[in-house]
A and B are shown apart, each in its own frame.
Chain A
Amino acid sequence: MKTITRANLAEAIYAQVGLSRNESAALLETVLERMSAALASGESVKISAFGSFIVRQKGKRVGRNPKTGVEVPILPRKVLSFRPSQVLKARLNPGQSFGPDDDA
């Protein structure tokens, strides 16, 4: 199993679009930054044929330190979750059927 990084994605943009390597890397960064900024403002990001990044608000609950058993309040917080599209799920499981692409 390999690990793909920014460098690989920038190289793909360079190869596909024909921009310089520097500009390809900068554009990749811009894309990630625009997505991050939208998510930071609480907005979901829906990429059709890929998936949706959704910001969820979690309520306050009582947690427990598993080692000591001491109760600690877990404050309300926002978490990010990713919901893959049917297209992406189908691509990872060739030959299996997935439902209609209802949500991104």
Chain B
Amino acid sequence: MTRSELIAQLAASNQHLRQPDVELIVSTIFDEITEALARGDRVELRGFGAFSIKKRDPRTGRNPRTGTAVEVSAKAVPYFKPGKELRERVNGGPLQAPARKPRAPSPVG
């Protein structure tokens, strides 16, 4: 699924909204998350997951091709930790009691 497919799905299930509004809704969500992280805030969406930033110290890296040492400056990297509910859905059911659907019986004979 891409951003535009998400927008198309949202537009299809909300026909009273104009297309530019649907686009604005989707971009507002991701822009707000981005701006929050840029301020150093954390974004917590229960059941879905949490976005935060992790600080990386400056380090001396190496150009893998030439072997020359390069200074890599400190940076902030975004991190997403999936929520419990989403983790379980992705893995096909709650972890404690795997609620997997029984397989369809294979045709005999």
Binding site for B on A (CB under 8 A): 1-6, 8-9, 12-13, 16-17, 19, 24, 27-28, 30-32, 34-36, 38-40, 42-51, 53, 55, 77-82, 84, 88-89, 91-93, 96
Smallest Cβ-Cβ distance to B37: which chain A residue: A92
- A-B pair count, CB < 8 Å, reads 144
What is the distance, in angstroms, from A18's C-beta to the closest C-beta of chain B? Answer: 8
* Residue interface mask B12-40, A partner, CB < 8 A = 1: 01100000010011101110111011111
Known A2-B42, A55-B90; further 13 A-B contacts with Cβ < 8 A:
A1-B42, A4-B36, A5-B45, A8-B32, A30-B10, A32-B47, A38-B1, A40-B86, A47-B3, A49-B3, A80-B82, A88-B78, A92-B75
Say whether, besides A4-B44, A92-B53, A80 and B87 are in contact (CB < 8 Å).
Answer: yes
**Chain B residues within an 8 Å CB radius of A51:** 78, 80
Question: Is the pair A82, B80 in contact by a Cβ cutoff of 8 Å?
Answer: yes
Q: Which of B2, B38, B45, B78 contacts A32 (CB 8 A)?
A: B45
Question: Is the pair B3, A96 in contact by a Cβ cutoff of 8 Å?
Answer: no
**Chain B residues within an 8 Å CB radius of A13:** 25, 28-29
Binding site for A on B (CB under 8 A): 1-3, 6, 9-10, 13-14, 21, 24-26, 28-30, 32-34, 36-49, 53, 73, 75-80, 82, 86-87, 89-92
Question: Is the pair B89, A36 in contact by a Cβ cutoff of 8 Å?
Answer: yes
Main secondary structure of the interface of B (DSSP, over half): mixed
Question: Is the pair B77, A84 in contact by a Cβ cutoff of 8 Å?
Answer: yes
**Chain A residues within an 8 Å CB radius of B25:** 13, 16-17, 24, 27-28, 31
Docked Cα-Cα span, A72 to B3, in Å, equals 40
Question: Is the pair A93, B46 in contact by a Cβ cutoff of 8 Å?
Answer: no
Question: Is the pair A49, B30 in contact by a Cβ cutoff of 8 Å?
Answer: yes
